[in-house]
Amino acid sequence: MILVLDTSLNSQQQNDLCLRLQTRGFFTRLVNQYGQLIVSVEGPKSSVIEHELASWQGVKKVVGDDNPYYLSSRDCLSGNSIVEVGGHEIKFGSNEIISIAGPCAIETEEVALEIAHQVKEAGCRIFRSMIFKPRSSPYSFQGLGRAGIPILQKIRQQTGLKILTEVRDPIEAELVLDHVDMLQVGARNMSNFQLLKYLGQINRPVLLKRGMGASIEELLCAAEYLISHGNTEVILCERGIRSFDRYTRFCFDIAAVPALKQLSHLPVVVDPSHACGKSSLVGPLTLASVAAGADGVMLETHVSPEKAYSDGTQSINPEELIDILHKGRKIAATLGRTLK
């Protein structure tokens, strides 16, 4: 349950209110988000006290457990959240659709730099720079680990591209924090609530990928963990969900894009590469996503997809990247947007 408080309450009054709840057995946490003073109330059974709370002095609104993602929702913020990455130039959620490209994983310095230069040339501004790879098999390439950090630094220095990297736990987040502009929570960690709570307390935008078996509501609840723990710089990512059909790797849920935009003020990015698993389908899905209102696209790109250590079959080459972005820009323009 959430209480939206009157912002005119002074800190003594706020604390008194929290104490009153605590003596009734509730855990409380005060957060100040989107210009609203919020108390999150975790309790034994909140419905017992819900009605009573509405009449407490200073309580403007009681958001019951039937709305588990209030802070992520348009009820909380009717306009779009703008999430800036690495300064003021890149704004997710604005009129500009942002392109992110790069390999599945950083393999060697030489290849990573080659891809990064091509990605920059194609007009993208954020580089997928994964050094910690969550893999289904323990025998698959697990990423370079911390040895990859100097490569991220070089890419940043040489190309000016902003760096996106995945972290699977707080230790990895600590290691990379100073060298990256944006962190990714992968599909397999969308429900790693301890990680979400930790990333809620750091000062970096988070690209939060939908779990492959997660509902739209569960994705928004995961975003709620980040926001309610202090980090409003959250970007949602549709990356495909499991279906019975094995022709594509996952089933790209295109409806999730407008649905998330309707339910939430957070920017929505798509990852057609992991969704479909086939490079020949990445272009059409990217264009469909732009038409559906996505705020960003993430495209796995490699100079030699056939030699990629991982996900080569779904990786496009730089020429294909240029072609997809060119077509995407035309669709974006018809919607009064740009794609960069």
- Contacts with ligand PEP by CB under 6 A lie at 104, 130, 134, 166, 186-188, 209, 239, 271, 274
Cβ nearer to ligand PEP, comparing 160 with 213: 213
Binding at 209: pick from Mn ion, ligand PEP, none (beta carbon under 5-8 Å per type): ligand PEP
Residue 186 binding result from Mn ion, ligand PEP, none, given CB thresholds of 5 to 8 Å by partner type: ligand PEP
Of the candidate residues 97, 104, 112, 149, the single one contacting Mn ion (CB under 5 A): 104
Contact 226, 173 (CB under 8 A): no
Residue number, 210 or 337, with CB nearest to ligand PEP:
210
Contact 324, 123 (CB under 8 A): no
For the CB of residue 130, give the shortest distance to Mn ion in the complex, in Å: 8
- Closest separation in Å from C-beta 285 to Mn ion: 15
In terms of CB distance, is 40 or 289 closer to ligand PEP? 289
Residue with tokens 């790209």: 252
- Tell me if 41 sits within 8 A of 26, measured CB to CB: yes
Angle in degrees, CA 130, 280, 248, rounded to 5:
75
Task: State in angstroms the smallest separation of the CB of 213 from ligand PEP.
Answer: 12
* 139: exposed, middle or buried (Cβ count in 10 Å: 0-12, 13-18, 19+): exposed
Tell the smallest beta-carbon distance from residue 249 to Mn ion (Å).
Answer: 10
Q: How many residues in the chain?
A: 340
- CA dihedral of residues 308, 310, 316, 317 (deg, nearest 10): -20
Listed in sequence order, the residues at least 6 apart from 135 whose beta carbon sits closer than 8 Å to its beta carbon are: 141, 142, 310
Contacted by 295, from Mn ion, ligand PEP, none: CB < 5 to 8 Å by type: none
First vs last C-alpha separation in the chain: 40
Name the residue nearer to Mn ion (CB basis): 2 or 212.
Answer: 212
CB of 187 to ligand PEP, least distance (A): 4
Residue number, 49 or 104, with CB nearest to ligand PEP: 104
Name the 3-class secondary structure at 185.
strand
CB 4 within 8 A of CB 37: yes
278 binds, among Mn ion, ligand PEP, none (CB under 5 to 8 A by kind): none
Nearest approach, Cβ of 76 to ligand PEP (angstroms)?
27
- C-alpha to C-alpha distance for 148 and 269, rounded to whole angstroms: 25
* Token pair recorded at residue 31: 């957060």
> CB 169 → Mn ion: shortest distance, Å?
19
As measured in angstroms, the least distance from the Cβ of 336 to ligand PEP is: 29
Q: Which is nearer to ligand PEP, 209 or 229 (CB)?
A: 209
**What CA–CA distance (Å, rounded) separates 72 from 93?**
14
Please, is 7 exposed, middle or buried when counting C-beta atoms within 10 Å of its C-beta (0-12, 13-18, 19+)? Answer: exposed
The entry of Mn ion, ligand PEP, none near residue 130 (CB within 5 to 8 angstroms by kind) is: ligand PEP
Work out what residue 239 binds among ligand PEP, Mn ion, none; the CB cut-off runs from 5 to 8 Å by kind: ligand PEP
Nearer to ligand PEP, 5 or 305 (CB): 305
Residues 6+ apart with CB under 8 A from 70: 2, 63, 76, 224
- Taking CB under 5 A as the binding criterion, the range among 26-34, 141-149, 307-315, 326-334 that sits at the site for Mn ion is 307-315
Q: Is 324 helix (H, G, I), strand (E, B) or coil?
A: helix
Q: Using the rule CB under 5 A, is 311 a contact of Mn ion? A: yes
Nearer to ligand PEP, 274 or 337 (CB): 274
Decide the pairing of beta strands 338-339 and 96-102.
parallel
Complex with ligand PEP: residue 76 or 190, whichever CB lies closer: 190
| Position closest to ligand PEP via CB | 186
- Report the SS3 class of residue 178: helix
**Least distance in angstroms from the C-beta of 224 to Mn ion:** 27
Q: Applying CB under 5 A, which residues contact Mn ion?
A: 104, 311
